[in-house]
Every structure is written in C-alpha cells, then in structure tokens.
Amino acid sequence: MSNRLAATPNDLRAFWMPFTANRQFKQNPRMFVGAKDMHYTTAEGRKVLDGTAGLWCVNAGHCRPLITEAIQKQAAEMDYAPAFQMGHPKAFELANRLVDISPDGMDHVMFTNSGSESVDTALKTAIAYHRVRGEGQRFRLIGRERGYHGVNFGGISVGGIVANRKMFGTLLTGVDHMPHTHLPGKNAFTRGEPEHGMELADELERIVTLHDASTIAAVIVEPVAGSTGVLIPPKGYLQRLREICDKHGILLIFDEVITGYGRMGTNFAADYFGVTPDIITTAKGLTNGVIPMGAVFVKNEIHDAFMQGPEHMIEFFHGYTYSGNPIASAAAIATLDTYKEEGLFERVAEIAPYWEDALHSLKDAPHVIDIRNIGLIGAIELQPIAGNPTKRAFSAFVRAYEKGVLIRTTGDIIALSPPLIVEKDQIDEIIDTIRTVLGEVE
C-alpha cells in the first residue's frame, strides 16, 4: 500500500467505504484534505475543481463563512437537546424558514438526517395518513424503474436500481414500479425537457387497474432522476402523474433530495415544473452538505389528519434521535441565509443557458451518445465498451481527477452538478477536461 500521503493514515484497511470500489481505491487512494469555494485540495496539495458539488450537496460551495461560524457558535452554546417531548428554538426557526420557501399549502416539515431517512419517513407518513383517515387498506407504494431513493429498505423497495436491490431479499411487499422515462432513440441530445414520453405516465393507470386504486397509498418519483444518470421528465409527464394521483386519491411524493434548494434555479423542482406533490423529501443542499440533515414537507391536510385523539398522546410514532439537531439546524439556517444573500437560486437561472451550450459542445467528442441538461445539472452518456460496461466512464472519472476536475459517473454516464457559485471559466474548465479525457480513454 502506498505510504505517500503524509497527512493521511497509511493503513486504509479498516474503513469499508460506501458505494466505492474499495480494493481499487485502497491501491491508489484519492484523498481530499481541504476545500474552499469551488475547489478541493488533495493530500498531495493539488487543487481539484468540484464539478459535482461533493455528492450533489454543496450547493453554496465549500467552507462558506456564515455556515462555518453558525456551526461553531451553536456547538459552543448548546450541543444537543432531546428530540422527543423537548424542543429548542433553532429547529422551530428553521421549520418556519423552510415553509416560507415551500410550495403553497405545505406548511409542515419533519426533520431527518439523510435523504434515505427522508424517503422512509415520507413512505411511512403516506401509509399512516391513509390509515388515520380510515383507509388503512391503502398500503401499496409505487416507484419507478431507475429511481433512486436512498438505501434504506423503503427506499430500495420503491427504487428501481437492480444492483441496489438484488442482494437484499424480499424488500417491502406491496410495491410496484412504473417504467422509466429514458427514451434515447427519440430524445437524444435534447436541451431541457424532452418532447417524447409523456404517455409513459399513463402506465400508472395500468398499475392502478391491476391493483385497484383503493389499495394504493402513494407514488414516489424523483422529478429529475439524478443517480441513474440524469433522466429529465418528458414535457407534461409530471402534470399527468399529478392528474392520475388526484383522480384516484393517491398521494404523490417528489423526492427532491438533489433537486431541492436551488439546483433547478428555483426553490424546488415542484416550482420549476409547476406541479405540487403532497409530500417533498429533501436533504443534501439543506445544510450545504456540511452536517447530515433532511427535511420532509407535507401538505397541511396530511399533517392535520394526524392531529386528533387525546392531546397528551403522541400523534405519529416516528422520529430520530437527531431530528432537528441544534447544530444541524444552525447550519441549515446559515445555509438558507447564504443562498438568499448571494441570490444563488436566481444565479442558476442566469447561468443555465451557458451551462447548456457548454455541455452540448461535447456532442462530437469521442464515445458520446447523448447529452442531457436542466438547471445546473448535466449528463454525458458514453457508448459502453462492449462486454465491459462502466469501465469507460470510470476511466474518464479517474483521469479527470488526475487532471484536476471532479466528475461523477453512474454506469457509463458522466453526471455533473457543480456548486451554484460556479463561474463561466470554471464551466469551460470542466468541459475542456472532459473533452480531453474522452480523447484519451479506451
């Protein structure tokens, strides 16, 4: 094992890393030791431009002063308060700030510690909501192929990524899936929302007919599917899902763990697409990725349905030790302040056309078979090496890192989501580096 990393441990065996090729990594570690604004610093002292906002979470850029100070102050003032049957002001202040920016009629929020927990919280809320209204037979959950909803049992059950599901037995029962919306034959190289595929929403009607509407609790989708390679909803698709859910009394959940907090140039993708779901799950950009925290927004009718029975009784038997943790709450408030003071969501709307043109300039680069973009999100899909899927994109990822740009790959797709503070010359650097590495990889 290499011993060249002066600032890092020389024994990497103990940490079983998440979603990582552990053996490859430990032979040739890629170690970050510092970060500021748009850049990481590696253990060797090299700067790496962040083309992915960490993991789609560092929306305001790295080590931003307001957020750092808020965490330091809160850690010294009050580190922890019990989350159950006790409160502290910052969690309430944060909830108020959040419902100020949430879609109309979603005036209540629950806190979690991750996107996965937000998803499982949303699924449980949906099933329990029907039960408290006397429709306990509505237990089915409908997800979508190629959906990613985190890694807990609820999330992988409604999710549609085979590798994340196949190892884990029976998962939740009573789950069905709609088809994904990726139609490269018809929509390749579309800028923004694709023209074709709205009719795929009607597959929900088929599923409703199969199971009967009276057994279905909720449908969950990512408005823009991120982790399976940026699948942008066809024009009219989300509106159609909303209509079908309304017709059958089914709750619609938008998983906005990556699209929430400005990535689309709006507060939420719900605002961008003009479709209001019944529940929104968020995490990541809520605290700028700095402290683990998620938030689940629910429509008022859902919240109100639980507020019954004797007043000394707990209304919803769900929550986490760290729900609304003081330091996470302080970090989130400072994050919202940073977004607002710097007008970062508006900035996305301004820079998105430049981003789009830059991405699509790669159309003639080697191996490229599709390019997709929306907001400050982009994907470049590569022709897989025959018999060796994912290898080409992984090689591109490693080479881009060596050349000073962090990109992310999923399958043979390069997914990009820089911090919302990205400058035009940094967009150029990301695109130029990708062009170079695509010329080099097998």
Ligand X SMILES: Cc1ncc(COP(=O)(O)O)c(C=O)c1O
Q: Binding marks (x or -) toward ligand X, 131..160, rule CB under 6 A?
A: -----------------xxx----------
- Note whether 115 binds ligand X by CB under 6 A: yes
Q: Give the phi and the psi of residue 281 in degrees, each rounded to 5.
A: -100, 140
- Note whether 283 binds ligand X by CB under 6 A: yes
The count of residues interacting with ligand X (CB under 6 A) is 14
Piece of the chain touching ligand X by CB under 6 A; list 253-261, 299-307, 322-330, 359-367: 253-261
- Note whether 288 binds ligand X by CB under 6 A: no
**Buried-state track 294-312, b at ≥16 Cβ within 10 A, e below 16:** bbbbbbeebbebbeeeeee
Closest residue to ligand X, Cβ-based? 115
- Note whether 289 binds ligand X by CB under 6 A: no
Helices (H) and strands (E) in the chain, counts: 16, 15
Give whichever of 120 and 381 is closer to ligand X, judged by the CB atom: 120
- Note whether 282 binds ligand X by CB under 6 A: no
If we measure between CA atoms, which residue out of 47, 36, 53, 40 comes closest to residue 344?
A: 53
Out of 217, 241, 257, 437, name the contact with ligand X by CB under 6 A. 257
Please give the residues from 220 up to 239 whose contact with ligand X meets the rule CB under 6 A. 222, 226-227
Distance between CA atoms of residues 301 and 248, nearest Å: 17
Give whichever of 150 and 411 is closer to ligand X, judged by the CB atom: 150
Give whichever of 226 and 233 is closer to ligand X, judged by the CB atom: 226
Distance between CA atoms of residues 263 and 259, nearest Å: 5
- Note whether 116 binds ligand X by CB under 6 A: yes
Piece of the chain touching ligand X by CB under 6 A; list 61-69, 196-204, 250-258, 317-325: 250-258
Out of 71, 101, 119, 328, name the contact with ligand X by CB under 6 A. 119
User: E strands along 91-146, which residues?
Assistant: 108-112, 140-144
- Note whether 120 binds ligand X by CB under 6 A: no
Sign of the CA dihedral running 117, 120, 122, 125: negative
Helix (H, G, I), strand (E, B) or coil at 321: coil
C-alpha distances out from residue 230 to 87, 175, 180, 191, 259, Å: 39, 23, 12, 12, 11
Amino acid at 82: P
Residues that bind ligand X (CB under 6 A): 114-116, 119, 148-150, 222, 226-227, 255, 257-258, 283
